[in-house]
Amino acid sequence: MDPSTTTTISQTPVPVQFFSLQTIVVRLLGLIAIICLVKFYLLIRQRRNAIEQFKRKCTIPLVGEPGLFGGNFLEMIAKPNNCQLIHDYHLKLGDTYGLFYGPDPWVMTVDLELIQRVFITEGSTHINVTQFRLPFVREINESLAQVSGDKWRTIRRIMGPSFAPKSMKSDNVYRDIDSVCDMFINMLETQQAIEDLMLLTQQRQEQQKPLDTSSHSMTMMKEDPVPVSNQQGVELDVCHEFKRYSLEVIFRVAFGLERSKELEPQARDEIIDWLDEAARMVNGPLVHIGVMLGIGARLLGFFSQFTPLGACISHIHSIIETNLQRRRRRLMKQQADDCIKGNKDSNSSRKLIDSLIERFDLGEMDDETFKANLFFILLAGHETSANTLAMMFWLLANHPGIQDKLRHLIASEGDQAEYLNWVIWETLRLYPAVPAAIGRVLEHDIEHHHGGVVFPKGSTIIASIWSLHRWQKYWGADVSSFRPERFGEPNSGGGQWSSLRFFAFGDGPRYCIGKHLAMAEIKAIASRLLVKYRVSLCANSPPPTPTHEGGGEGIKTISPNLIHFIIEHPIKLAFTKITNL
């Protein structure tokens, strides 16, 4: 072709095609939806296979067909009457049966031979515990109660010695408990004096006589109340008042912090109100979602910070942080003074927290774990002891003969009276602070001797403490009765494992670390009160619990996720001062 005849063609640029923001968002959402559907399908498939595999391998009866998401969680564990449901299924299905906590197979048992093997004999092998998937990452999931493996061994090795009776003595734990007992007695006497003064005022007004309200008069009223009031007694909500007592003990013992010099009569406590609300949220929607869908605890923890529980946690963390700095400075100063003066035995101001700080400063525990366990001591320690005290005094008010026997033995033997131990244990038998032992996750398949039942690796063996403590085979026909003497009688119902029938503090390597502290706290205030006051029911007291099996209850309780025990309403009791034993 002749170049001269070539026609020039215009080269117009092609515009670049950009995706609009709307298109990008739509495509991104579509991709996310596809990923979610795939994960949802895989989750369903995984859970269906896990359920079928457990059924094939383990032939124990199940409570019902587990759902793919919640398992039997919503129909059993999340119910307000979960303890009674679990007990009813034991009566129906036998001493061992299965259910699913979300995707996790749980084996509920009152079989002492199985409990002995998993919790004690092979306790160091099956050391890991079931995860409750609570949205409190640092506060619970990093605590001694939930960590696993070597991390648990490290924390237990660090914290265990501080809760031994010998260390509790050197760290002035018993002295701190006695100080709070004095505060409680003074509070009770002050309230008695106020009520006496009000009654006397009313009497004088009726007689139209002036009344001396000077401080001297108040003191005299406190020391020598009028006879009419002595007959009526001071009415206390023991649920609330023992929580105040227990919280003050924990702050002094575990944190080295005196919250107050005295307990005001019938005063509210903001921290107790927060902790009560937080305790109930353990059975809230965030936990339900975590159990059923397996959503990470950190994600749920992000949402929990916007709840009242989050406010409570933040407040307590600020207290812990401030007090840690103060105790560390005091400890360093004390060590420097001891070095200068050559005083190796200066421990008059030591607290339990000082022993923990010393180990923490040696690098044996990271900061997050250290604070989490301090928080857990507060969370678990104050409520368990307080509830046990409240139930114990309510039971003693319902059984005045037992109360009188205990009072006279305390008067002669002090708080070391063996019968006092029996009364506490019998209270914990009927109302265990933890209604189901934190389950042990099996590290390998185990074959149970009776019938050759195989429990597969990954299953969680849980001692049904609530049912175990009500099992007639181990406790006799009067299992529902409050009878402390049973702990002094020989028992053959449990065979060679008879001691395991009482499991309130657990057993084996992961038994309750606060056992000695709790017993010291309960025994101290109980012995002080019972030699000074007679405890009785009043017009506002809950009715006594019927002793027959299946009867109604005078005390309404709930156990969120079977983790702890909550008394649902006040327990009003009358405390009448004793003039002579």
Predicted confidence at residue 331, as pLDDT, reads 75
Kindly state the average pLDDT of the residues 421-448. 93
151-155, 358-362, 494-498: the lowest-pLDDT one: 494-498
Cα 315 versus chain centre, distance: 19
Span 467-491, pLDDT tens digits: 999 999 999 999 999 999 999 987 6
Do 101 and 73 meet the contact criterion of CB atoms below 8 Å apart? yes
Q: How confident is the model at residue 229 (pLDDT cuts 50, 70, 90)?
A: very low
Lowest mean pLDDT across 16-30, 76-90, 178-192: 16-30
Average pLDDT over residues 115-134: 89
Query: What whole-number distance in Å separates Cα of residue 234 and Cα of residue 299?
Result: 48
What is the torsional sign of CA 424, 425, 427, 431? positive
Provide the pLDDT for residue 494: 56
Per-residue confidence band for 214, with pLDDT thresholds at 50, 70 and 90: low
Distance CA 488, CA 479 (A): 15
Comparing 551 with 387, which gets the higher pLDDT?
Answer: 387
Nearest 5°: phi and psi at 580? -155, 150
Q: Which residues pair with 98 in a beta bridge?
A: 62, 107
Question: Which is more confidently placed, 187 or 371?
Answer: 187
So where are the chain's domains? 158-577
- pLDDT (0 to 100) of residue 469: 95
Q: In this model, does residue 137 exceed pLDDT 80?
A: no
Q: Where are the beta strands (DSSP E) in 335-406?
A: none
Share of the chain above pLDDT 90, in %: 36
pLDDT at 308 over 90: no
Question: Is 3.40.640.10 the CATH number for 158-577?
Answer: no
Structure tokens at 357: 């700080």
How sure is the predictor about 142, in pLDDT bands with cuts at 50, 70 and 90? confident
- At 247 the pLDDT is 93
At 234, is the secondary structure helix, strand, or coil?
strand
Average pLDDT over residues 104-120: 94
SS3 575: strand
Q: What is the pLDDT, as a whole number, of residue 22?
A: 78
Q: What's the mean per-residue pLDDT of the chain?
A: 82
Share of the chain above pLDDT 70, in %: 82
Cβ contacts of 200-209, under 8 Å, gap ≥ 24: 200/226
pLDDT tens digits for range 512-560: 999 999 999 999 999 999 999 999 998 888 877 644 343 345 788 888 8
538 marked ligand binding residue = no
Residue 401: pLDDT over 80: yes
Greater model confidence, 475 or 281: 475
Closest CA to 430 of 486, 377, 378, 379: 486
Which segment of 235-239, 337-341, 452-456 scores lowest on mean pLDDT? 337-341
More confident residue, 570 or 283: 570
Q: Which range is least confidently modeled, 19-33, 336-350, 404-418, 440-454?
A: 336-350
Range with lowest mean pLDDT among 157-166, 398-407, 450-459, 552-561: 552-561
3-state SS string for 236-294: EEHHHHHHHHHHHHHHHHHHCCCCCCCCCCCCCCHHHHHHHHHHHHHHCHHHHHHHHHC
Residues 6+ apart with CB under 8 A from 84: none
pLDDT band at 505 (very low <50, low <70, confident <90, very high): very high
Q: DSSP letter for 577, please.
A: E
